[in-house]
Structures are given as C-alpha cells and as structure tokens.
C-alpha cells in the first residue's frame, strides 16, 4: 500500500490565496503496530474573503484537518507525516505554519487565525465570566488595557446579537443558553479580526431557528471584513447557504471539490451523490419525503479498502477501482474529482 498519496496541485481559487494546504498527512499512532491515517494527502486552498465548506461523514478527517492548521495536533499520538500549510500573514509574509516556532504560532493562533467548535463548553472556561474571557484575548494579542478590553468585549457581544451585553459579560458560561454560548465563542474568535476563521460544525448542536441566526451573523460579519472561512459541516444543505466552494472528504481524503453551485447541482463523485440522497427530501411529484441511505458501512480508517476507498459502497464499482488508487482529476472549471470512472458515469 502506498504510504502517502501524492496530490494533484489544488485548484486555484479566485484572488490571492490566504491559505494553501499541500498534501497534508496527519496520522495517529494507535498502538505499537497500528496507524490511523486520519488525514492522508489533503490539499486545499482558500482566498481572502472566501468560504470553503468541508463536508463528509463523521471520522472522515474534517476536524483533524482544521486542528492541524491550528497546529493543535503536534504531539503524540498525532504525527504530521507530510505536507505544508502556507498562510499569508497580515504583514505580507507567507509562512509554513507546520514549521513555525511555537512562539510565533502563538501570536497567530486566536489572532490571525481563529477557530470555533461544535461544543462551545469545550473552549469556554467555566469559572470565568464570558466578558473576561473575550477581553483576555484582546489584552494578550492587542496589548489593550483592562478597561479598553472590557469595553471592546461588550461591543463584540453586542455585535454577535446578544441582548443586554454589559450584563451578559459578567455571566458565566453555564448561565447562558446553547445559542448564546455559541455567540460568545464567535465573539471571542472575532475579537482580534482574524484573517481566517475555522468553524467546526458551529451550529450542529443548535435549533434550526438559532442556526439561522448564527448563519446570518457569520455571513454578515464576512461581508464587513475580508475574513476567509473554513466551514466544517456534515449538512450539505447548510453548505449551499454559506460556501463559495466545497470539499467533500471521505476516509482522510478529498474526493471531490468545486464551486458550490457546480458541486451540489452536478456532483460527479458517487460518494457526493450518495451523501446528497441521504438528506431527507420531498419528491415534488408525489409530495412524499424520503431518504436513501448509502449502501454498506463507512470505511474503517485503520484498515481502509485498497484502491478507491469508496469502492465497497460504490454503485459504479468496476475491477479497476479495486486496484488503482484514483487521484484528484480536474473535470473542468475548478471541479476536481477522485474517481476513476467519472467520465463514464457522468
């Protein structure tokens, strides 16, 4: 089995790339003789002001990709086996985040690149008022005084749509609802005007109504700054609402990537097509809503299938799929597909 997969160069998004991930491989040493190739040859790039959605089933490597960019997976059992993550800094320099000294990374993390998570409690400290937690970042990265940071924190809470922000600033995370905590996380992430925001399933735990509020907030904030965003989700419907481009991941690899309208209206990879059919949808003719599950089981990342990783579940599988490992191929207009048979099944 090939150790790593050499990737085709990623398609170039419009504008200057702010982030360029090349052939990233993040593995986990599970025990003496087992290695989990969580991310295996991922290449992605992102322009200023652009939103890239990363979708796929759980375990496909979405979060590991985000955490690697944040450099939060540098220690055992995680191992970055290959790849680079080039980031265009505010001062104009382009640096490889993976080889940067930790002191410099600390100045970037939470300031030029920020991340929000599905579970806000995991990144909010339960024993400090939320306003203080937002102010802390400002004092650290912006050298603001205590008073100025506090004022700014209150402004940020207002910006993310929290009513009565001055009072809320003094409350502890457990006193807030799930939607409010997620807003606090967003306020915290935006405090230092990041150039890149990595949002890992920021609305998965929320009601549709609150999700709609958060999505509107994110879109609005992006309109005002030139912030680029990686939006991780497993909800393909949500993708249509926020993203410019989409990357679909399966078993540690990007299997399809392209502009959002092209990919959702005209998916080429059998996995993307199957994923779209899982979404409950109403048949306009009969009025009946249905779902169509994907055949078979999600690949075991410890023992991924030979050849195309999707082949045991693919309705179009042929002999070649079991042997050769498909590379990402450009199928026109920045639409990339990792399928040996995309032309035949189109």
Partner 1 sequence: MTAAAPIPTATAAPLLRATGVSKHFPITRGLLSRTVGHVRAVEGIDLEIAQGECLGVVGESGSGKSTLGRVILRLLDPTAGQIAFDGTDVASLSPGALRAFRRHMQMIFQDPFASLNPRMTVGASIREAMRLHRVCEPSELDDRVAGILGRVGMSPDHASRYPKAFSGGQRQRIAIARALAVGPRFLVADEPVSALDVSIQAEVIELLQELRRDFALATLFISHDLSVVEVVAERVMVMYLGRTMETGDTRRIFARPHHPYTNALLSAIPSRRSRPDRIVLKGEIPSPSNPPSGCVFRTRCRHALPECAAAVPPMRQIAPGQWSACIRDDITTGAAS
Ligand X SMILES: Nc1ncnc2c1ncn2[C@@H]1O[C@H](COP(=O)(O)OP(=O)(O)O)[C@@H](O)[C@H]1O
Contacts to ligand SF4 by CB under 6 A: 270, 308, 310-311, 314, 316-317, 321, 326, 339-341
At its nearest, how many Å lie between partner 1 and the CB of residue 51?
14
For residues 321, 325, 326, 328, the Cα torsion angle rounded to the nearest 10 degrees is 160
At its nearest, how many Å lie between Mg ion and the CB of residue 66?
8
At its nearest, how many Å lie between ligand X and the CB of residue 16?
28
Peptide bond connecting 238 to the previous residue in cis, omega within 30 degrees of 0:
no
Where does 214-343 show beta strands of DSSP type E? 228-233, 245-250, 253-259, 281-282, 289-290, 329-330, 336-337
Q: Does 77 bind ligand X (CB under 6 A)?
A: yes
The count of chain residues that interact with partner 1, using the rule CB under 8 A, is 40
Q: Does 28 bind ligand X (CB under 6 A)?
A: yes
* Residue range at the interface with ligand X (CB under 6 A); choices 58-66, 147-155, 163-171, 327-335: 58-66
| Bridge pairing between strands 17-31 and 78-88 | antiparallel
Judged by the rule CB under 5 A, the positions of this chain that interact with Mg ion are: 63
| Cα–Cα distance measured from residue 145 to residue 216, given in angstroms and rounded to the nearest whole number | 32
Nearer to partner 1, 95 or 210 (CB): 210
What region, left, alpha or beta, does residue 35 occupy, with left being phi > 0 and alpha being psi -120 to 50 degrees? beta
Angle at 322 (CA atoms; ends 317, 324), nearest 5 degrees: 115
The option from ligand SF4, ligand X, partner 1, none interacting with 308 (CB < 5 to 8 A, set by class) reads ligand SF4
CA 33 vs. chain centroid, Å, equals 30
For residues 19, 140, 231, 98, the Cα torsion angle rounded to the nearest 10 degrees is 40
The option from Mg ion, ligand SF4, partner 1, none interacting with 209 (CB < 5 to 8 A, set by class) reads partner 1
At its nearest, how many Å lie between partner 1 and the CB of residue 95?
35
The option from ligand SF4, Mg ion, partner 1, none interacting with 80 (CB < 5 to 8 A, set by class) reads none
At its nearest, how many Å lie between ligand SF4 and the CB of residue 230?
25
At its nearest, how many Å lie between ligand X and the CB of residue 61?
4
| 345: its two tokens | 């099944």
Exposure b/e, 318-339, CB count within 10 A at least 16 = b:
eeebeeebbebbebeebbbbbb
Q: Does 328 bind partner 1 (CB under 8 A)?
A: no
Q: Does 76 bind ligand X (CB under 6 A)?
A: no
At its nearest, how many Å lie between ligand X and the CB of residue 117?
11
- Using an 8 Å Cβ cutoff, are 59 and 70 in contact? no
Residues found near partner 1 in the complex (CB under 8 A): 57-58, 163, 177-180, 207-213, 215-216, 234-238, 240-241, 264, 274-275, 278-282, 287-294, 298
Residues found near ligand X in the complex (CB under 6 A): 28, 36, 38, 56, 58-64, 77, 301
């Amino acid at each position: 089995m090939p150790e790593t997969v050499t990737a085709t160069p990623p398609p170039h998004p419009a504008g200057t790339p702010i982030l360029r991930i090349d052939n990233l491989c993040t593995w986990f040493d599970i025990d003496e003789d087992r290695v989990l190739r969580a991310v295996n040859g991922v290449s992605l790039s992102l322009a200023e002001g652009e939103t890239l959605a990363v979708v796929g089933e759980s375990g496909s490597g979405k979060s590991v990709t985000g955490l690697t960019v944040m450099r939060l997976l540098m220690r055992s059992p995680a191992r970055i086996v290959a790849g680079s993550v080039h980031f265009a800094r505010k001062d104009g320099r382009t640096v490889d985040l993976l080889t940067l000294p930790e002191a410099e990374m600390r100045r970037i993390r939470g300031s030029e690149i920020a991340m929000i998570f599905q579970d806000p409690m995991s990144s909010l400290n339960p024993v400090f008022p939320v306003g203080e937690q937002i102010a802390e970042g400002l004092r650290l990265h912006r050298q603001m005084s205590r008073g100025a940071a506090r004022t700014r924190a209150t402004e940020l809470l207002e910006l993310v749509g929290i009513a009565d922000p001055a009072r809320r600033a003094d409350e502890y995370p457990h006193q807030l609802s799930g939607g409010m905590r997620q807003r606090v996380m967003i306020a915290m992430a935006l405090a230092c005007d990041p150039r890149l925001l990595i949002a890992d399933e920021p609305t998965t735990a929320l009601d549709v109504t609150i999700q709609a509020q958060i999505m509107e907030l994110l879109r609005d904030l992006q309109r005002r700054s030139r912030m680029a965003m990686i939006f991780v989700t497993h909800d393909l419907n949500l993708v249509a609402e926020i993203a410019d481009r989409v990357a679909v991941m399966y078993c540690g690899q990007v299997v399809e990537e392209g502009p959002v309208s092209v990919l959702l209206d005209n998916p080429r990879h059998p996995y993307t097509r199957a994923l779209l059919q899982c979404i409950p949808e109403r048949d306009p003719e009969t009025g009946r809503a249905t779902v169509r599950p994907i055949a078979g089981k999600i690949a075991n990342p410890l023992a991924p299938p030979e050849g195309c990783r999707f082949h045991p579940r693919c309705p179009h599988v042929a002999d070649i799929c079991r042997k050769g490992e498909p590379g990402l191929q450009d199928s026109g207009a920045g639409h990339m597909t990792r399928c040996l048979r995309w032309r035949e099944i189109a």
